[in-house]
Structures are given as structure tokens and as C-alpha cells.
Amino acid sequence: MGAPWSGSTGRTEERVGIVTTASSADHPTRRDFLFVATGAFAAVGGAAALWPFISQMNPDASTIAAGAPIEVDLSPIAEGQDIKVFWRGKPIYISHRTKKQIDEARAVNVASLPDPQADDARVKSGHEQWLVVIGICTHLGCIPIAHEGSYDGFFCPCHGSVYDTSGRIRQGPAPSNLAVPPYTFVSDTKIQIG
């Protein structure tokens, strides 16, 4: 048993040792429970404290909507007419070109252009009457005016760049053609930009 022990009463008692058996080690103690509970509470508290910092990094709904693809109904656009829509904060010109405008754009000697590009490369096959371009001048970012200039295309009033009916630079300081955004025809009368 244990060693004798003499207390203040003068009586001798035997000290009993605590023996840990395999069966008692398998059962969690109160201390184990407190460790687990404290750890879980700290993890939940830490996650709750970090949540506002992480969620503020996500874009808000208006930012997400601004970059989303848009659909444009082409049926109300008369032949020879242009409309302007906005996608990702940029003006997009959609032109319903006439047969004469298409023929003139195709007849241009591509080698004579400052930024050589054939008309067929700027429109979708089977939908040559529709021209879709980003309405930002490639010189300094002004917004050109449709159906202006020497070529009945686009004219930039800031520095005088002139684009034809295919959005190709013909005169002025602009270094390149008006950009064509990514777009697809959903049907014959509807396009999706983006």
C-alpha cells in the first residue's frame, strides 16, 4: 500500500496511491472537455471576427452587374441607323449598315489603311449588316460621333480622327481601328455583348 502519514491529530493514516487503469484513460476528463470547448469557442470567435474583413473584399452587386454580359435587341434599329449602349462603362456603337455602306467598306484597298483590317474581319459572317464597336477613340479616349466625317462612319471631335463605316481609321492621329468587343448573335435579331 502507501507510506504511513502522520497528520496533525497524531494519528497515523496510510496514503492511498491513485492508480490509472486503461479503462479510466479512455474516458475524457473534465479538463479535456474544457480544452475542446475553449478551442471551439476561439475558432468560432476568430471566424466571426474575420468575416467582415473577408466579405468587404468581394465586389458589390453593381460592380458585378457592370461586368456582366448584356443582350441587345436589334429589331428596332432601322437600316442606316446607329444606337449606343453601355457595357462595362464603355459606349458600344451598334450600326445597322446599308448595302451601300457594306459595299464601300469591302471595296477599300486594305493595304492603304493605317491599321490594315478587312471589313469581313470586323463583322460576324452572315450578319455583315451589323457593325459592333467600342465607341472610344484609340488616340486619347474621346467618344466619336456616328455618321460624321468624310467616310460617313465615325468622327472624333477632340483631335479629328476619322473612321469609316467599318470603324477603321482613315485619317487623323488615332493609331488603330475602333475596337470590336466580344459579342455573339443569340438570334438573328439579338446579340450578347461580353
Written as tens digits, the pLDDT of the chain (194 aa) is: 555 555 555 555 555 555 555 555 567 788 888 889 999 999 999 999 998 888 888 877 777 777 789 999 999 999 999 999 999 889 999 999 999 999 999 999 999 999 999 999 999 999 999 999 999 999 999 999 998 888 889 999 999 999 999 999 999 999 999 999 999 999 999 999 98
* Separation CA 95–CA 77 (nearest Å): 8
Q: Which of 18, 41, 108, 74 is nearest to 193 (CA)?
A: 74
Q: What is the pLDDT of residue 63?
A: 74
Question: What are the boundaries of each domain within the chain?
Answer: 4-55, 64-193
Q: Which of 194, 91, 96, 182 is nearest to 136 (CA)?
A: 91
Q: What is the pLDDT of residue 68?
A: 84
Which residues does the annotation mark as catalytic? Answer: 159
Q: Which of 69, 127, 105, 87 is nearest to 177 (CA)?
A: 105
Beta strands at 70-73 and 82-87: parallel, antiparallel or unpaired: unpaired
Three-class DSSP category at 84 = strand
Q: Which amino acid is at 88?
A: R
Domain 64-193 bears CATH identifier 3.30.70.270: no
Q: Which of 156, 174, 173, 154 is nearest to 164 (CA)?
A: 154
